[in-house]
Homo-oligomer: A and B are copies of this chain.
Amino acid sequence: MIDLSSLASTRQITLRMVMRILLDRGAVSRAELARLTGLSKQTMSEVFRELESGGWVQMTGRTQGSVGRSAATFEACANRALVFGADVGGTKIQAVVADMHGVFLSEVMEPTDKRGGDHVIAQLAHMSDTLARRAGLPLERVLVGTIGIPGAYDARANNLFMVPNIAGIEGTSLPDRLKALVGFDVHIGNDVNMAAKGEQWRGMGRDIDSFVFIALGTGIGMGIINEGRVLRGSRGAAGEISTLPIGASPYDGRTFRAGALESSIGSAAIRERYEGRGGEAGLTVRQIIDRIAEGDMIAVATIDEIARTVAEAILAVSAVVDPERVILGGSIGARPELLARVQHFLPRCMAMPPECAISQLGSRAGLYGTIASSLDILREQLFQTASVSSAISEAKRFEATQ
């Protein structure tokens, strides 16, 4: 079998180019490929032979040519290489195995092993095995996996930190220990960054290059997509907007733990604000927001203030990274009652507010992101291109120069 990832010769460059075109375009006839690549008929034949023998390409039928002739078309064998993605939360893990086109072949959701640490790692290994089996494919086909974690990950130092909700998983060992169990390369990403990546791939960020995804739920986080790429920051803490000095004074030591913004508008704060005003005790934030429709003025006053502060946070984010769109997600962020109020306040605190929209992927955004991220890495390894989107644009540019 050809090891695509270590190709170096001209032949290898050619093989990669062909594979990339097939993956991006779907079924392509030999003639089109020749036109796109400028390769000779003979070289094409040799390339296809090699790719077919490695299981990367298959002939799929015939398309109708322009002058009435039919021609054989080729397409990539999408499940020749697979990717794994898992969104690990404090309470549950969602995991998927997908093919090279990003088609989900099998999916599973389990409660997170409360014992944390190695137990969670073993759980992930077992899930990947289960998923490959359910997909009817050998685990060896999985070449890349990405794990979304509710914490900060410093890729440079391979250090996972600030993971309050999963015991014993901070530090440096997760990727290596998991790889030792599953065989494929394991990458880590912050869960909200993964959600932003998911929005870019399949959600409200599909059509644009620069946006942020703000998750408002128990906690507050943000993923930034800038010029098509996740912005990670020097320690992997970019987007940790829970610490924005908004809604509370950052000089108040009480905000050092959760951050001033999260102290002010996290779900605990919302419940306490509601109860503090005399609202019924013991409601969840979901229930409090539901009460707006019932005319509960305490709920209205509470969520008005939250929205006012969220608008300020969006202003702060815009001042720094100038997103084209703000996608709101999370159990609170996804509520239209909040969005309406944020859109009331935004033009009152900034002259040119960004577009705001609610995520349509819901709690699956992060899972999508882990697959999108794994695919990027897979392609980079296979074809040395930076990302799904850049692969596409490079292919276009390549074509344009022909």
Q: Footprint of B on A, CB under 8 Å?
A: 6, 8, 10, 208-211, 222, 224, 226-227, 231-257, 259, 261, 264, 269, 272-279, 298, 301-302, 304-305, 308, 312, 315-324, 345, 347-351, 354, 401-402
Contacts and interface: CB of A to CB of B under 8 A. Distances in A.
30 contacts: A8-B401, A209-B234, A210-B234, A234-B323, A235-B322, A235-B324, A236-B322, A237-B318, A238-B320, A239-B322, A240-B322, A241-B320, A243-B319, A245-B246, A245-B312, A245-B315, A246-B316, A248-B248, A252-B269, A252-B276, A253-B276, A253-B279, A253-B302, A253-B305, A254-B272, A255-B276, A256-B351, A301-B348, A316-B320, A317-B320
A253 B240 contact: no
A316 B244 contact: yes
A239 B318 CA distance: 9
Nearest to A154: B322
A304 B277 CA distance: 21
A5 to B, nearest CB: 11
Given A241-B320, A253-B279, 12 more contacts: A210-B234, A233-B321, A234-B323, A234-B354, A241-B319, A243-B318, A243-B350, A244-B316, A245-B246, A245-B349, A304-B348, A305-B348
A324 B234 CA distance: 5
B245 A274 contact: no
A35 B298 CA distance: 59
Contacts of A248: 248
A227 B6 CA distance: 25
Copies per assembly:
4
Nearest to A6: B401
Given A273-B253, A274-B253, A276-B256, A322 B237 contact: yes
Contacts of A305: 249, 251-253, 348
Nearest to A268: B254
B350 A238 contact: no
B233 A323 contact: yes
Contacts of A250: 312, 315, 349-350
Nearest to A265: B252
Nearest to A325: B234
Contacts of A279: 253
B257 A224 contact: no
Contacts of A259: 319
B320 A239 contact: yes
Tell me which of A234, A242, A302 has the highest count of chain B C-beta atoms within 10 A of its own C-beta.
A234
A355 B256 CA distance: 18
Contacts of A273: 252-254
Contacts of A320: 222, 224, 238-239, 241, 244, 316-317, 320-321
Contacts of A276: 252-257
Contacts of A246: 245, 316
Residue picked from A226, A252, A354, most chain B C-beta under 10 Å: A252
Contacts of A275: 253
B277 A253 contact: yes
Contacts of A272: 253-254
B322 A245 contact: no
A233 B252 contact: no
Most chain-B CB neighbours within 10 Å: which of A243, A251, A252, A319? A319
Contacts of A209: 234
A244 B354 CA distance: 15
Contact of A210 (B222, B233, B244, B350): B233
Nearest to A323: B234
A114 B279 CA distance: 30
Contacts of A308: 251
B210 A243 contact: no
A237 B276 CA distance: 20
